[in-house]
């Protein structure tokens, strides 16, 4: 990447003897929406807090627009931040909360007031100026927190799991709103989350972290469809894993519960008789009627989960079971429990993981 | 960051000095009784004084009575307020705060006027009745501590469910309070009790004005007449207070932290 | 099953009927209400007898003369110079020891809780404060006599090692400042004990949010930290004030009756009617009640105003 707005260079962070971030290297472009995704304890929040300036890296540096900010204190970095638990100042009303950054910067009062009004319009809470935080719902509080972070025109926005304290429905609408505002302002944004669906839906690019190391850095499309590691494959999205035995390594055929199929992606290192794991997304599998797929397997429906627009079926293949999604069709009821079905998989959608 | 920590350390240091120096000085003073050498003479003199033994045991006995009265008053009240009469809570809490606002000397002045030997309830008419009044006075002083300790204890257990469970099993209210609720908040109650003990042992003005032979007036008397014994007594009092508070800290470690509800 | 008589415990009847099954639900509640009142009644009766009635009795006695007629002479008699000066010095000692105690206690609590000091230090401080805040009365006077009295350790060390003669330079443990310094010994720890939970309530995210918005530490404290602590600070301040204003044992043991503060004056009046007017004693007490009540009313008013944002 030629022009980088923010680069994180060989960052290491240890607390006592415990290293939580192991030499992470990342570069983000201006205006990008980046998610740091990983399970709890993967180091994502620590990286975010180092960017904000609350933690000093043990080694490495953080550069913004060509300037090393590693040793700058948080209040000199001009970086906006939104916290998981809102962190609105309880003693100030909405307008004073949003105007806080302007007040401490010494912006004249009338100018600040105009900016606050602009911010309130942006988050759709005009008229809420005089409310106190406790009078607002969680979603409204988080929108105010976003406006407060944006009001002093920071050069970057950090979001630390801002949606995880909210109800499912508000979570979706607020994340859409956050993304829309981010696009409108073109502000570089780093979003920490443990929710892969959230990261996939909202980001330009995703950094998948595990145990303090970067597992993959790419667009949602890449991360979902071409996971770089077994960890990414299993952490992001739902994945079917079938245990298969290599039938003939030369012909690239494997046996799945006795049914022999050809897997072109079978690695050259595979030996006959060895066990391999085949993985595929539920949507890569179809009930084989009409659509020709090169892998065909027979099984019986063992579970039917009606999820609304999608119906998730569990197909028993013997020792293995496979989940697949079909679209709801109001004219055709889903297959009943115990129905024998034939399923088709495009061999190109199958990933082979060893053992 | 380093500078702010230095600042914190020096504040802590000043505070520590302010609180330790008087203790050291008092201890040093208490050892000075024998001319030219440090000795335990002042302590020996104090312990050998029959008035010390008499007033100390008198106050300890009064303290125990106060604790019993306090528990009998506060535990049922706090329990029923929490369980069935939540609308009384503001009144009860206001009442328990009053002893912090009304000075003890005012209370005892009121008692002397209201319950004098010619009144309808002559508490000051006989020694025994006055002892009882002293216990009630101390129970009044201990209300804020007791109530707060018990209420905190009740908050950590699920009073409603425990009561319902016991009721279904056939227990009556007295049984529930004595055998279910009290054991469960015992540690909280004991905290309040030890604090009460520490306060009663040193109390001066009420005992003095009711003319009871308590430890506080004895301390004052020694202070007015002796040089080194008061310092020894101060150290002894400090150890008593420390013992009571230390026991509370110790008890807090055993306090039930399970079943705490989010409220 | 709910109608079968309970043989297990006949006492249940006398102690107030108990719900014996789900059928008895709402009826049982009606029966249980008296049981609840029965539990609270002793507490309330006790409070009336030993807290409210004595106080109200004094309040009314202040307006009655020795012949039993209603009068305001007792109140007017409070303008006696000795009484006025007693109130004056009592107020000054209470205000000084509460104000200084609150400020120092807050600073120490902040330093230990938020200053990045080791957590063991905090545990030690809290335990010690619990002890020291209850170490008042007569023994405290002894301790300070042994420290800052004429023969106290600090007085001697200052004189022999540093050449500073405290008493020649005008200090006296039996004076306004002597008593204030002594009171601080329990006022500061009391402040620490009460304010520590409030400081814990200051969320770390607030100072972090303020920092990302460009605020310097003092700006955080000026606009967020102190305003959030404000109701608690004031509440504790009024408590410290009442604590010092009503305290007598320490002052009496330190100074005998030589220091003219209101509680000592009242004590002397109760013992020997030194003012030669029982009604005047009641008026003196009324003045004390009014002042401590006033301190708490100020607190309540400010707290109510702060309640706009307090949940």
Q: Residue B55 belongs to a domain with what CATH number? A: 1.10.3720.10
Q: Which one has a higher pLDDT value, A156 or B152?
A: A156
pLDDT at B1 over 50: no
Average pLDDT score over residue span A133-154: 93
Dig out the tokens for C113 from the structure. 């809780």
| Domain contains B23 | no
- Which pLDDT value is given to residue C197? 87
Nearest CA in chain C to B191: C130
> Cβ–Cβ of C285/B15 closer than 8 Å?
no
> Cβ–Cβ of C142/B234 closer than 8 Å?
yes
Task: Say if CB B7 and CB C111 are below 8 A apart.
Answer: yes
Q: C204, C210, C214, C226: which to substitute to probe chain A, counting the most A Cβ within 10 Å? A: C214
> Cβ–Cβ of C138/B219 closer than 8 Å?
yes
Average pLDDT score over residue span A103-109: 93
Q: What angle do CA C305, C310, C311 make, to 5 degrees?
A: 135
| Domain contains C254 | yes
Residues of chain C contacting residue B200, judged by C-beta atoms under 8 Å apart: none
Question: What's A319's DSSP letter?
Answer: S
| Domain contains B178 | yes
Q: Which of A328, A330, A322, A329 lies closest to A349 in space, CA to CA?
A: A322
The model's confidence at residue A354, banded by pLDDT at 50, 70 and 90, is low
Average pLDDT score over residue span A132-159: 93
| Domain contains B43 | no
> Cβ–Cβ of C210/A104 closer than 8 Å?
yes
- Sequence-distant (6+) residues with CB within 8 A of C286 are C58, C59, C62, C75
Distance from CA of C311 to the nearest CA of A (A): 7
Option in C205, C223, C311 nearest A87 (CB): C205
Whether residues C37 and C98 fall in one domain: no
H helices then E strands: how many in chain A?
8, 20
- Which pLDDT value is given to residue B4? 64
> Cβ–Cβ of C309/A75 closer than 8 Å?
no
Option in C40, C53, C289 nearest B114 (CB): C53
- Which pLDDT value is given to residue B213? 93
Option in C9, C266, C296 nearest B172 (CB): C9
Alpha helices in chain C (DSSP H): 11-14, 25-47, 53-61, 73-76, 81-114, 119-133, 137-148, 153-160, 176-200, 204-212, 217-220, 226-246, 249-255, 262-272, 278-306
Whether residues C25 and C82 fall in one domain: no
| Domain contains C222 | yes
Nearest CA in chain C to B141: C51
Distance from CA of A88 to the nearest CA of C (A): 7
Question: Scanning the structure block, which residue is given the tokens 């667009």?
Answer: A219
Q: What angle do CA C114, C116, C120 make, to 5 degrees?
A: 95
Whether residues C174 and C48 fall in one domain: no
| Total structural domains within chain C | 2
| Domain contains C72 | no
Region of poorest pLDDT, from A19-33, A269-283, C4-18: C4-18
Quote the CA–CA distance of B22 and C143 in Å, as a whole number.
6
| Domain contains C9 | no
- Which pLDDT value is given to residue B121? 81
Structural domain containing residue B110? 50-254
Chains adjacent to A (≥3 CB pairs closer than 8 angstroms): C
| Domain contains B4 | no
> Cβ–Cβ of A89/C208 closer than 8 Å?
no
Task: Say if CB A221 and CB A214 are below 8 A apart.
Answer: no
Nearest CA in chain B to C57: B110
| Residue B193 in contact with partner chain C when CB distance is under 8 A | no
| Domain contains C67 | no
> Cβ–Cβ of A103/C309 closer than 8 Å?
no
Whether residues C50 and C136 fall in one domain: no
Q: C40, C239, C283: which to substitute to probe chain B, counting the most B Cβ within 10 Å? A: C40
Reduce the DSSP state of residue A243 to 3 states and report it: strand
Residues in B 21-80 with any Cβ partner in C closer than 8 A: 21-26, 28-30, 72-74, 76-77, 79-80
Structural domain containing residue C40? 19-61
Residues of chain B contacting residue C37, judged by C-beta atoms under 8 Å apart: 80, 85
Burial class (CB in 10 A: 0-12, 13-18, 19+), A40: exposed
Average pLDDT score over residue span B213-237: 90
Q: Given its phi and psi angles, is residue A60 left (phi above 0), alpha (psi -120 to 50 degrees) or beta?
A: left
Average pLDDT score over residue span B83-90: 84
Distance from CA of C293 to the nearest CA of B (A): 7
| Domain contains B112 | yes
Whether residues C39 and C173 fall in one domain: no
pLDDT at A56 over 80: yes
Whether residues C84 and C138 fall in one domain: yes
Query: How many CA atoms lie within 13 Å of B32's alpha carbon, on the beta-carbon side?
Result: 15
| Domain contains C138 | yes
pLDDT at A347 over 90: no
Nearest CA in chain C to B172: C12
Whether residues C162 and C123 fall in one domain: yes
- Which pLDDT value is given to residue C310? 62
pLDDT at B118 over 60: yes
Task: Report how far apart the first and last C-alpha atoms of chain C are (Å, whole number).
Answer: 46
Give per-residue pLDDT as tens, A75-99: 999 999 999 988 999 999 999 999 9
| Total structural domains within chain B | 1
Option in C213, C309, C310 nearest A100 (CB): C213
Residues across chain A: 355
> Cβ–Cβ of A90/C212 closer than 8 Å?
no
The model's confidence at residue B263, banded by pLDDT at 50, 70 and 90, is very low
| Domain contains B134 | yes
Nearest CA in chain A to C220: A104
Distance from CA of A120 to the nearest CA of C (A): 17
| Domain contains B90 | yes
Quote the CA–CA distance of A349 and A351 in Å, as a whole number.
7
Q: What is the dihedral of CA A318, A324, A329, A335, to 10 degrees?
A: 10
pLDDT at A158 over 90: yes
Distance from CA of C290 to the nearest CA of B (A): 10
Nearest CA in chain C to A93: C309
Distance from CA of C5 to the nearest CA of B (A): 11
The model's confidence at residue A216, banded by pLDDT at 50, 70 and 90, is very high
Whether residues C138 and C237 fall in one domain: yes
The model's confidence at residue A318, banded by pLDDT at 50, 70 and 90, is confident
Average pLDDT score over residue span B8-26: 89
Q: Which of C113, C111, C92, C110 lies closest to C241 in space, CA to CA?
A: C92
pLDDT in tens, chain C (311 residues): 333 333 333 333 333 333 333 334 444 444 455 667 788 899 999 999 999 999 999 999 889 887 778 888 888 888 889 899 999 999 999 999 999 999 999 999 998 888 878 888 888 888 888 888 888 888 899 899 889 888 888 888 888 888 888 888 878 888 888 899 999 999 999 999 889 988 988 888 999 999 999 999 899 999 999 998 888 888 889 989 998 998 899 998 888 777 889 999 999 988 887 777 778 889 999 999 999 988 888 887 777 776 666 65
- Which pLDDT value is given to residue A97? 95
- Which pLDDT value is given to residue C307? 64
| Domain contains B62 | yes
CATH number at residue C112: 1.10.3720.10
Angle (deg, nearest 10), helices B229-252 and B2-30: 130
Reduce the DSSP state of residue B144 to 3 states and report it: helix
Interface of A with C (CB under 8 A): 52-54, 73-81, 83, 85, 87, 89-93, 100-101, 103-105, 132-134, 145, 148-149, 152, 154, 158
- Which pLDDT value is given to residue A346? 83
> Cβ–Cβ of A104/C228 closer than 8 Å?
no
Task: Say if CB A149 and CB A82 are below 8 A apart.
Answer: yes
Distance from CA of B95 to the nearest CA of C (A): 7
Distance from CA of B124 to the nearest CA of C (A): 14
Residues of chain B contacting residue C53, judged by C-beta atoms under 8 Å apart: 110, 114
Whether residues C185 and C294 fall in one domain: yes
Task: Say if CB A317 and CB A259 are below 8 A apart.
Answer: yes
pLDDT at A2 over 50: no
Give per-residue pLDDT as tens, A165-215: 888 888 999 999 999 999 999 999 999 999 998 999 999 999 999 999 999
The model's confidence at residue A155, banded by pLDDT at 50, 70 and 90, is very high
Whether residues C49 and C188 fall in one domain: no
Distance from CA of C225 to the nearest CA of A (A): 9
Nearest CA in chain C to B95: C47
Q: What is the dihedral of CA C279, C282, C287, C291, to 10 degrees?
A: -170
Distance from CA of B110 to the nearest CA of C (A): 4
Tally of CB atoms within 10 A around C45: 11
Whether residues C55 and C182 fall in one domain: no
| Domain contains C215 | yes
- Which pLDDT value is given to residue A157? 95
> Cβ–Cβ of C214/A92 closer than 8 Å?
no
Task: Say if CB B19 and CB C189 are below 8 A apart.
Answer: yes
Dig out the tokens for A99 from the structure. 């105007």
| Domain contains C284 | yes
Residues across chain B: 263
Chains adjacent to B (≥3 CB pairs closer than 8 angstroms): C
The model's confidence at residue A353, banded by pLDDT at 50, 70 and 90, is confident
Number of CB pairs < 8 Å for B and C?
291
Quote the CA–CA distance of C15 and A169 in Å, as a whole number.
52
Q: How far is CA B141 from CA B66, B200, C188, in A?
A: 10, 9, 21
pTM of this structure: 0.80
Dig out the tokens for B35 from the structure. 């001319």
Question: Scanning the structure block, which residue is given the tokens 């990933």?
Answer: A351
Give per-residue pLDDT as tens, C33-59: 566 778 889 999 999 999 999 999 999
Residues of chain C contacting residue B246, judged by C-beta atoms under 8 Å apart: 127, 131
E strands within chain A?
Answer: 6-15, 18-28, 33-37, 59-64, 67-68, 79-82, 156-160, 188-193, 205-210, 213-218, 240-248, 253-256, 259-262, 275-280, 285-287, 295-306, 310-316, 321-327, 340-345, 351-354
Dig out the tokens for A242 from the structure. 């079938």
Whether residues C56 and C86 fall in one domain: no
Region of poorest pLDDT, from A39-43, A78-82, A148-152: A39-43
Quote the CA–CA distance of B94 and B115 in Å, as a whole number.
24
- Which pLDDT value is given to residue A278? 86
> Cβ–Cβ of B28/C146 closer than 8 Å?
yes
Interface ipTM: 0.86
């Amino acid at each position: 990447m030629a022009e980088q707005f923010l680069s994180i260079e060989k960052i290491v962070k240890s607390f006592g003897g415990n290293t939580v971030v192991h030499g992470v290297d990342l570069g983000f472009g201006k205006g990008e929406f980046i998610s740091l995704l990983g399970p709890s304890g993967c180091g994502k929040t620590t990286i975010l807090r180092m960017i904000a300036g609350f933690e000093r890296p043990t080694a490495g540096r953080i550069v913004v627009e060509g300037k090393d900010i590693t040793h700058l204190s948080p209040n000199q970095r001009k970086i906006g931040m939104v916290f998981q638990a809102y962190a609105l100042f309880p003693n100030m009303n909405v307008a004073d909360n949003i105007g806080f950054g302007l007040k401490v910067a010494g912006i004249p009062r009338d100018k600040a007031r105009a900016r606050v009004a602009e911010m309130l319009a942006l988050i759709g809470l005009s008229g809420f100026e005089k409310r106190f935080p406790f009078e607002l719902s969680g979603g409204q509080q988080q929108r105010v927190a976003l406006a407060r972070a944006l009001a002093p025109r920071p050069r970057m926005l950090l979001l630390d799991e801002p949606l995880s304290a909210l109800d499912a429905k508000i979570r979706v609408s607020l994340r859409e709103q956050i993304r829309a505002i981010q696009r409108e302002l073109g502000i570089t944004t780093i979003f920490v989350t443990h929710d892969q669906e959230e990261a996939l839906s909202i980001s330009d690019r995703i950094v998948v972290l595990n145990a303090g190391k970067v597992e993959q850095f790419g667009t949602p499309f890449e991360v979902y469809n071409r996971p770089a590691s077994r960890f990414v494959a299993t952490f992001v999205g739902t994945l079917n894993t079938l245990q298969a035995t290599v039938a003939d390594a030369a012909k690239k055929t494997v046996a799945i519960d006795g049914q022999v199929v050809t897997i072109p992606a079978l690695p050259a290192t595979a030996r006959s008789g060895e066990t391999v794991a085949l993985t595929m997304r539920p949507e890569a599998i179809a009930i084989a009627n009409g659509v020709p797929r090169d892998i065909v397997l027979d099984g019986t429906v063992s579970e039917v989960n009606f999820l609304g627009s999608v119906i998730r079926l569990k197909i028993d293949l013997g020792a293995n079971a496979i989940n697949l999604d079909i679209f709801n069709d109001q004219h055709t009821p889903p297959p009943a429990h115990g129905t024998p079905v034939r399923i088709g998989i495009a061999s190109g959608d199958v990933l082979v993981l060893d053992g | 960051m380093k500078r702010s920590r230095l600042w914190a350390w020096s504040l802590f240091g000043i505070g520590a000095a302010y609180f330790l120096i008087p203790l050291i000085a008092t201890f040093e003073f208490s050892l000075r009784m024998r001319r030219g050498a440090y000795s335990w003479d002042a302590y020996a003199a104090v312990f050998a004084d029959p008035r010390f033994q008499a007033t100390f045991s008198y106050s300890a006995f009064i303290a125990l009575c106060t604790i019993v009265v306090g528990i009998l008053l506060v535990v049922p009240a706090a329990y029923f307020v929490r369980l069935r009469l939540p609308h009384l809570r503001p009144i009860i809490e206001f009442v328990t705060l009053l002893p912090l606002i009304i000075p003890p000397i005012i209370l005892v002045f009121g008692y002397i006027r209201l319950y004098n030997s010619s009144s309808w309830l002559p508490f000051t008419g006989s020694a025994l009745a006055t002892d009882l009044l002293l216990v009630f006075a101390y129970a009044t002083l201990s209300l804020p501590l007791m109530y707060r300790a018990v209420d905190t204890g009740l908050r950590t257990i699920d009073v409603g469910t425990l009561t319902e469970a016991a009721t279904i099993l056939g227990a009556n209210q007295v049984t529930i309070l004595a055998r279910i609720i009290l054991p469960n908040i015992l540690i909280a109650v004991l905290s309040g009790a030890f604090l009460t003990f520490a306060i009663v042992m040193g109390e001066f003005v009420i005992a003095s004005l009711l003319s009871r032979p308590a430890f506080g007036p004895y301390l004052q008397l020694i202070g007015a007449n002796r040089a080194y014994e008061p310092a020894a007594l101060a150290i002894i009092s400090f150890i008593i207070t420390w013992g009571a508070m230390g026991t509370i800290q110790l008890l807090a470690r055993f306090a039930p932290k399970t079943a705490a509800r989010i409220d | 099953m709910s109608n079968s008589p309970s043989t297990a415990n006949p006492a249940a009847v006398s102690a107030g009927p108990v719900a014996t099954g789900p059928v008895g639900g709402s009826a049982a509640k009606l029966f249980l209400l008296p049981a609840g009142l029965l539990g609270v009644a002793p507490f309330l009766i006790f409070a009336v007898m030993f807290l409210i009635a004595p106080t109200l009795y004094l309040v009314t006695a202040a307006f009655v003369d020795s012949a039993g007629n209603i009068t305001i002479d007792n109140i007017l008699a409070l303008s006696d110079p000795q009484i006025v000066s007693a109130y004056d010095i009592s107020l000054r000692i209470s205000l000084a020891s509460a104000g200084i105690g609150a400020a120092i206690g807050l600073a120490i609590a902040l330093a230990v809780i938020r200053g990045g000091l080791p957590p063991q230090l905090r545990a030690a401080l809290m335990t010690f404060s619990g002890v020291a805040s209850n170490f008042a009365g007569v023994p405290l006077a002894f301790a300070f006599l042994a420290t800052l009295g004429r023969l106290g350790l600090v007085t001697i060390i200052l004189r022999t090692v540093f050449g500073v003669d405290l008493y020649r330079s005008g200090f006296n443990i039996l004076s306004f400042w002597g008593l204030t310094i002594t009171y601080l010994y329990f006022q500061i720890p009391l402040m620490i004990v009460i304010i520590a939970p409030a400081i814990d309530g200051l969320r770390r995210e607030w100072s972090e949010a303020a920092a990302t918005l460009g605020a310097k530490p003092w700006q955080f404290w000026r606009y967020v930290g102190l305003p959030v602590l404000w109701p608690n600070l004031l509440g504790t301040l009024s408590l410290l004030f009442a604590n010092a204003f009503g305290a007598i044992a320490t002052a009496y043991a330190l100074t005998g009756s030589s220091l003219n503060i209101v509680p000592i004056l009242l004590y002397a009046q109760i013992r020997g009617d030194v003012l030669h007017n029982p009604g005047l004693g009641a008026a003196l007490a009324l003045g004390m009640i009014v002042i401590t009540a006033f301190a708490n009313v100020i607190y309540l008013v400010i707290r109510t105003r702060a309640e706009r944002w307090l949940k």
